[in-house]
Amino acid sequence: MAELFHECGVAAVYHLNTGEVSPLVPGGMARNTAKLIPALLQEIQNRGQLAAGISWYDPENTQLLSTYKDIGTVTDAFHVNNAEEYKKLMGTFNGPAAIGHVRYATTGAADRCNAQPFERTHLEKHKWFSFGFNGQLANMDDLRHEILQSKDFHLSRNTDTEILLHLISQLIAGDRRPTLPELLKTLSERLDGAYNIVFLNARGEMFASRDPLGIRPLCYAFDGALFACASESVALANMGFSADQIRNVPPGHAVIIADNKLEVVQYAESPRKAHCFFEWIYFANVASVLDERSVYLSRKRLGVELALQETLHKTGERDDIIVVPVPDTARGAADGMAFELGLPCMEGLIRNRYAGRTFIEGAEVRRSKARAKYTPLPEVLRGKRVLLIEDTIVRSTTMRVLVSQLRERGGAKEVHVRVACPPIVAPCYYGIDMSSVSQLFAWQHLQGAKLTPEIEAKMALDLEADSLRYLSYDALARSIDLPASSLCQACVDTKYPTACGQQSYQINLDEALATTHSGHSLVKV
C-alpha cells in the first residue's frame, strides 16, 4: 500500500546509576548510552522517513542538553554510509540518557526546522528540555487560536509539536515546578487526539508517556540498569532485550525517571482503549508485538478471514488460480489466505525499494512512480487468474496501476482484487496521512450507503479489475483478537474516539456532500 503514511516514531534510553553497566551498552560504559539511539531509530524507520533526530543529556558536559537532527532517513541524517562522518558524529553522543525521533509529516513542511526532537533552552535546568512527539492533535487549530490570543506568544511553524512546546513551557513558567506526573495530568486535560511523548530535561529527568486512549503503540524494557522505549517492540528485541523484559506502556501511563529511580505512573484515567487497528494490518513492523498481539499473526488471520469469504476457487478449475501479495505488508494476509484455500502464494510482483516516494506528488506523478515501484513477473502471472491481496485501498492510484500492469506486462488472464480491510470511508485525525473524505475511493462509491456486491462490482469496474472483495467489518477485531470496543476503527466505521475527531469528520463530510450536491464532480486521484 503506497498511499498511507504514519506520522512519527519515538525512542528513548536511560542508564540508571546502579553501580553496574548493562551489557547492552556499547563499550561497557554507561556514558555511551546515548549512542544507542540511532540504531533504535533505524528499527522504527517504517514510521517516518522525512527526518530523524536525537537529544542527549550529558552531566559531564557544560552543555547539559544537546540536540542533533536533520532531514532524510536515519541513514541520511546520521551519515551512516560515510564511516568517517558517522564515527565523528557518534563521538558527540555522550551521556547516560537520550531521546530520539523519526518523522513523517501530516502537519508542517518537510524541512529541518520541523524535525524533532524540539529543544527549548533556558537558564533554569527544569525549564531546559527537549521532547519528541508521535501522534496528532485533533484540536490543534483550537489550541493554536488560544495561544495566539496572547500578544506575547508566537507560533512559527504549522505543526502540533510546536503547540505542545508552548503548552509544556506554560506549565513550568514562572515559579511553577510541577512534578512530571502533574505536568502530564494537566497537559492531558488540554489535548484531544493521539500523543505519545518522550521528554528529557537538563536535570536528567525523563518520561515516556502514552495517551489515555492508547491510540499509538509504545513499548519499553528495563534490565535493572538500562531503560529503553520505542514505538515498536521489534526495536527493543533487536537491541537485545528478551521478550520477558519488553512491556507495553499502558494507556494514560508514563515511565518516569527522576532522582535515579524508575516508576510507571498513571497520570490520567483511561475509561476506554482505542488502539489504531492499522498498526496491526499495515504500519507496524511484522516482527512487532503490540499490546500482547502479534502483528504477523494478525495479518495471517486477516488472510484466513478473506479466504472464508472467497468463492473464486469454487468456479471452474483451480489449477490456474494463484494468490499474489502486493509487497511488502500484504504478504502475511496472502499467506494466510493461500494456505486456507490450498492455493499457491506466488511473488508475482517485485517491489523496487529504491523508487521515489509516491505520496508527496501530484496524481500523474504518483501514477508514474507507482508504475516504476512494482515489476510484474510474466513467468509467474501469464495465463493465471490472480487473487491480488492488498492491505487497503485509499485513493486507488496504486491499485489502478497494478491491475493494469498485471494484465499488460504480466499477462494475467484475470485480476481479482481482495482487500484485507473494510472500505476506508473517513479520514484519520490521529497521526495517519489520510485523505479528505472526497478523495477516498470507497467514499466516492458509497457516500454513506452500505457496501453491497453490486457496489463492489462497480468499484471493480472502476479499477478495471475482474472483481473486488473487501474484508468484512467484523473480521477486523477477530483478526487482531481484541474487542472492537478497544480499537479505533473510525476510518471504516466513522465512530471517532474523541470529540474533536468526530467534529472534524462532520465538517469534512458536510463539505464533501455540499460539493457533490452542488453538481461538481469529485476528482479521482
Catalytic residues, which ones?
8
Give the C-alpha separation, 215 to 209, whole Å. Answer: 12
| Residue recorded with cell 525549564 | 127
CB atoms within 10 A of CB 35: 22
Residue listed under C-alpha cell 492531558:
188
Report yes or no: 146 and 197 within 8 Å, Cβ to Cβ: no
Residue 223: CB partners within 8 Å, gap ≥ 6?
22, 24, 241, 245
Give yes or no for a contact between 20 and 225, defined as CB atoms under 8 angstroms apart.
yes
Under a CB-based contact definition with an 8 Å cutoff, are residues 212 and 269 in contact? yes
Rounded-to-integer distance, Cα 409 and Cα 391, Å? 23
Three state DSSP letters for 342-362? CCCECCCEEECCCCCCCCCCC
Cell of 134: 508521535
The x, y and z cell numbers of residue 261, run together, are 529511580
Q: Is the dihedral of CA 369, 375, 378, 381 positive or negative?
A: negative
Q: How many CB atoms lie within 10 A of CB 168?
A: 21
Q: What are residue 135's DSSP bridge partners?
A: 195
Cβ atoms of 249 and 233 closer than 8 Å: no
Q: Rounded CA gap, 31 and 36, in Å?
A: 11
Residue 429 and residue 501 in contact, taking contact as beta carbons nearer than 8 Å: yes
DSSP symbols for 262-295: EEEEE-S--SS--EETHIIIIIS-TT-EETTEEH
DSSP string over 441-497: HHHHHHTTPPP-HHHHHHHHHHHT-SEEEEPPTHHHHHHHTS-GGGEE-HHHH---S
